[in-house]
Amino acid sequence: MKLFSGSSNRPLAERIAKELHVSLSSLEMFIFPDGERRIRIEENVVEEDTVIIQPTATPGDQNYMELFFIADGLRRSGARLLTAVIPYLGYQRQDHVFRDGEAVSLEVIVKTMEAVGIQKLISFDLHSIKIPEVFKIPVTHLSALPLFAKLIKEKKWDNTDTVLVSPDKGGIRRIKILSEMLGDLPYATIVKNRDLATGFVEAASIDGPIGKRMIMVDDMISSGSTMIKAAELLQSKGTEKVIAMATHPVFSSDAPNLLEDSQISKIYVTDTVYIPKEKYFSKLHMLSVAEMIATELKKGV
């Protein structure tokens, strides 16, 4: 098996390679002055099983193009099986038509991935459990929830002071699974309204108990509005401490500053998305999905 990394999250690719006791395979990536990329596979991959590691968070378009070019290079070089490890799958939120006239971005991405020869996908905490159905190729849908459950146990937060919270109704399945992993820890759900045109988020109300410690769990943090508004609502209901856990630190716009200044005391994310140094903040803590991905790859790509 040969592992190739695009440029979107090389530290994660290196961690996965380390777990597998292999080195990353070599590819040349030349960036033209206008930003276009030329990719060349520098190793013999004839009849090899190959893996491309390339999360497609910001800049999503560029990261997808790199992925497609690497896949094309591998296929033309005779690789046998192409597995794409895309821990964060960009454009997954637009998986159907919400309003008349909208494009289904995810479907376009899926068709292109299949067209360039990707034969298998490994991804994490997809926005909807129905997303794998959009693909014709096999999709392994992993979750960071076991990492969050382990952390909660290690911190000894799995006690009567804690209530798990989904910051929106869409996350109810996720929070139920985590609750089961933690011996049926109580959970609550926030009713969130988002204006589709402006993106404005309102945490309207909460269904379920309020604990001294509320642990909010979501698939991703993008602008930070969902977590921040939810935390404000929880504080207004009398909770003492709000902790946030999210798989994908997409961190668009001013999210790191807003989260640092928010009422959330600690924010745990994973390395499915690379976080540049300038986006680090003191409340942020990182868990790694590398071992889970390596375990999956060991089963056979």
- Residues in the site for ligand R5P, rule: CB under 6 A? 167-168, 170-171, 201, 218-226
Q: How far apart are CA 88 and CA 221, in angstroms?
A: 12
Query: For strand 266-270 and strand 139-142, is the pairing parallel, antiparallel, or unpaired?
Result: unpaired
User: Looking at 18, 150, 169, 192, which residue is catalytic?
Assistant: 192
CA 115 to each of CA 119, 141, 258: distance values in angstroms, whole numbers, following the listed order: 10, 21, 40
Pick 118 or 178: Cβ nearer ligand R5P: 178
- Please, which residue, 54 or 226, has the CB nearer to ligand R5P? 226
Q: Of the two residues 115 and 286, which places its CB atom closer to ligand R5P in the complex?
A: 286
CB of 217 to ligand R5P, least distance (A): 10
Burial 168-199 (b: 16+ CB within 10 A, else e): beebeebbeebbebbeebebbbbebeeeeeee
Catalytic status, residue 298: no
Nearest distance in Å: CB 177, ligand R5P: 15
Query: Which residue has tokens 């589709």?
Result: 196
The beta strands (E) that lie in the chain are given as 2-5, 27-31, 37-41, 49-53, 81-85, 120-124, 139-142, 162-166, 187-194, 201-207, 213-221, 241-249, 266-270, 284-287
Report, in Å, the least distance between residue 169 CB and ligand R5P: 9
**What does the alpha-carbon distance between residue 301 and residue 291 come to, in Å, rounded to a whole number?**
15
Q: Is the peptide bond before 59 cis (omega within 30 degrees of 0)?
A: yes
Decide whether 83 or 225 has the Cβ nearer to ligand R5P.
Answer: 225
Residues 126 and 130: their CA atoms lie apart, in Å, by 9
Nearer to ligand R5P, 211 or 256 (CB): 256
What are the residue numbers of the active site? 192
